Structure 1
């Protein structure tokens, strides 16, 4: 059984406050691991496939089928790994930006924080700086897809929303300590249920907030701890972005 007690909206201003925050929470959990998801603003926990606008008269499942079919057809000359099952195919697609039914999480608390602050904060329509958030997920053992030998076909959509650990088919998945929640599409409504409102999971989730004006200082603290674009994305794209940040500065940075 999992029990989380928190009353007020909690904000952190530094990496040390972030780490200390978890010690101050009254948490009783029966979980083998804690998962973290950083977001630059507080939005529902829905996979990217459910957030993109789709063409009129198309269903999410139809769009998913088209995306995955084209991705599978085109990856052979582009990827150093060849997925041998549809779940690993989904994981590879997810980590290279394709909208899928997977939602990214990390078992590393600092990586979760980095994803919340790695870019300048977003603003609303009135120019107000938005808060970032790290969602902390305390799953139970039964929340995981446990038997890989009898994995359901993800595209048949017959499973309930679960946590999926893919094979380390990508350097990005390994570097990010990546884990996924795999979401079932509600076909009758053509939508996903946000994880944070899902009756099975909402009591196992809590948010830790970061004011937008603190993004840049936390970003620098994380870099001193070795958490940066290159460590998160260990390829030429990540290396180039890290060098850009190292020798220039983002728009929210004061010096």
Structure 2
């Protein structure tokens, strides 16, 4: 379909259509909806500016939710270890092989830290340094998630989507369900886990109010959530108390980043290293200084 996909989605705070609205949806949209959003509660904002109103919703007042921003609307919640794999999942064997290989390859290249004997701590270290892992980055800050949704430019790319996405997940409800499953003798590799590393090696995570969602083998985040919560709710609006996917028009990216910059959310504050310094300088040049005309004979 040539028209923008996201404009046919329910407008926040709705998560479903009336029967009349549903009947008028283009067939091409319905096909893409099954591929892009499936059974998740999904809504859209009219612009990134409406994100402020979204964040003020009463369900977010008790800090029970965590957030994740993604550049493309058709990307599912798939950790890097599972990307490109059949069904978007990884096997226990693939996970074990990857972690064992990283342990061997990193010997003598990291500081001694007894906490790295824990698999999740080791995965977290690898995530920080570009390793394919079963971890997904989330944040306690919805505005940090918005930053990562809009961080990279792609609106002119042939594969660009017409919306960016922020996911919201009810951390408290998921953790409560994990405790219930553990009491039913479920093992760690059978449940998702929300995890904050105990070590001091990941300064970025602290700056980003970050935490990880560890995905179990042979599972997807979406599938696990729907399996463990889908039967408890009557419709999408109810299920949105657990998880939601919010589409934001892929427009006015620079204005969005300027607004976040005024809130001290930018590369230099979120990446406390030279990579962050370089990215921040590039951002300042691209967004603030690219139209400056220097006087004749002036140099940089």
Is this a same-fold pair by TM over 0.5?
A: yes
**Could you tell me how far apart the structure 1 residues matched to 2:85 and 2:139 are?**
26
Per the alignment, do residues 180 and 96 of structure 1 end up closer, same or farther by CA in structure 2, a change over 3 Å counting? Answer: same
Q: Residue 101 in 1 paired to residue 105 in 2?
A: no
Q: Assess if the C-alpha contact under 8 Å between 1:112 and 1:134 holds in 2.
A: yes
**Higher helix proportion, which one?**
2
Report the TM-score, using the length of structure 1 for normalisation.
0.75
User: How many angstroms apart in 1 are the aligned matches of 2:112 and 2:146?
Assistant: 28
* 1:206, distance to aligned residue in structure 2 (A): 0.9
Distance 1:131 1:81 in 2: 44
Q: Which residue of 2 aligns with 1:35?
A: 66
33-42 or 71-80: bigger deviation: 71-80
Q: 2:60 and 2:276 mapped to 1: Cα distance?
A: 37
Number of equivalent positions = 229
Larger Rg: 2
- Contact kept? 2:80, 2:133, Cα under 8 Å: yes
TM-aligned CA deviation for residue 37 of structure 1: 0.2
241-250 or 171-180: bigger deviation? 241-250
Find the residue that maps to 2:252 and give its secondary structure: helix
Q: Which residue of 1 aligns with 2:99?
A: 68
Task: Compute the displacement of 1:236 (Å).
Answer: 0.9
CA 1:122 to 1:76, structure 2 compared with 1: closer, same or farther past 3 Å? Answer: farther
Which residue pairs with 1:220 in the alignment?
258
Q: Helix, strand or coil for the counterpart of 2:76? A: coil
Q: Choose which of 165, 181, 198 in structure 2 pairs with 1:167.
A: 198
Distance apart, 1:215 and its partner CA: 2.1
Q: Offset at 1:166?
A: 1.9
2:228 aligned counterpart, secondary structure: coil
List gaps (5 residues or longer) in structure 1: 147-151, 187-191
Residue 48 of structure 1: aligned partner: 80
Inter-partner Cα distance in structure 2 for 1:168 and 1:216: 35
* Equivalent residue in structure 2 for 1:199, among 211, 227, 240: 227
Contact 1:145 1:162 (C-alpha < 8 Å) held by counterparts: no
